[in-house]
Amino acid sequence: MRTYYAMVTESRLIVNGGCYSPLMCGRFYLTASSAEIRKQFKLDKMPELVPRYNIAPMQTSPIVVAEENGRALHMARWGMVPSWSRDLSPGAGMVNAPAETLQEKPPYRKAFDAQRCLVPANGFYEWQTRGAKKQPYKIAVRQGTLIAFAGLWERWTPEGGEPVMTFTIVTTRASKLVSEVHDRMPVIIAPPDHQRWLTAPALTAKKLLVPFAAGLTIGAVSDRVNNIKNDDVSLLQSAEL
């Protein structure tokens, strides 16, 4: 039996005079096989994963981090929790990290300097307000190619308990295509830049925080994706408007 955690309530965030939703990206999916992920991210070890079609905040998903002997994949809780936090509750407000504030806010600044990660995905969802209704859209690279979001990670340890790895997804202004439905999008790191994002100095990594536009596709999907209990392949099917 799977356990699902409550979604964060929708709110707004002011960044450099603009008003953005902190939950962009608020859902994504990962359907690639373990073999594909291992090859794409140059991993020595890779656990068996099941396809996920509706990954939501506070749930776990794989992240790729740099370690002394190369790269490693860890399962981590979506919603970054600073190591000094008393509990996991701050994660609800740290699902996304706006690229504009990474070097301003202390929890992000520390992680941006030394704890960057790649978040494997095949695509993400966003909602466009259409009158009284919010229409969900699926956004991905053509052919559903495996991609990587820019992420930051932390390790939080409860008193007398086991460490919990947590992460946040970095967002930036939307590309022209994505702006048709939302003003923000996750930062997507192209394969040639994977190592640069993981290990380069912060000033170099900052140059990668730009909208990704190469080969993106967008299409309406069923509002079944609104419910995090729905997690099946039919969520990816096109819907008529």
In this predicted structure, which of 1-10, 92-101, 159-168, 182-191 has the lowest mean pLDDT? 1-10
DSSP letter assigned to residue 58: T
Q: Which residue type is seen at 3?
A: T
Among 1, 2, 7, residue whose Cα is nearest residue 228: 7
Computed over every residue of the chain, the mean pLDDT equals 88
d(CA 170, CA 177): 19
The CATH classification number of 13-236 equals 3.90.1680.10
Q: Within 13 Å of residue 39, how many CA atoms lie on the same side as its CB?
A: 7
Model pLDDT, residue 59 = 96
Average confidence (pLDDT) over 161-183:
93
Model pLDDT, residue 23 = 52
d(CA 239, CA 128): 14
pLDDT digits (tens, 9 = 90+) for 189-226: 999 999 999 999 999 999 999 999 888 999 999 999 99
> Do residues 236 and 29 touch, judged by C-beta distance below 8 A?
yes
DSSP letter assigned to residue 134: E
Q: Which residue has the higher pLDDT, 11 or 24?
A: 24
The domain ranges of the chain are 13-236
Active site annotation includes 19: no
Annotated catalytic residue: which of 19, 100, 126, 154? 126
Q: What is the 3-state secondary structure (H, E, C) of 85-96?
A: CCCCHHHHHCCE
Q: Residue 24 — pLDDT band, cuts 50, 70, 90?
A: low
Token look-up 């466009």 returns 128
pLDDT digits (tens, 9 = 90+) for 64-102: 999 988 999 999 999 999 988 888 888 888 999 999 999
Model pLDDT, residue 92 = 84
Q: What are the tokens at 154? A: 């932390």
Active site annotation includes 126: yes
Model pLDDT, residue 74 = 97
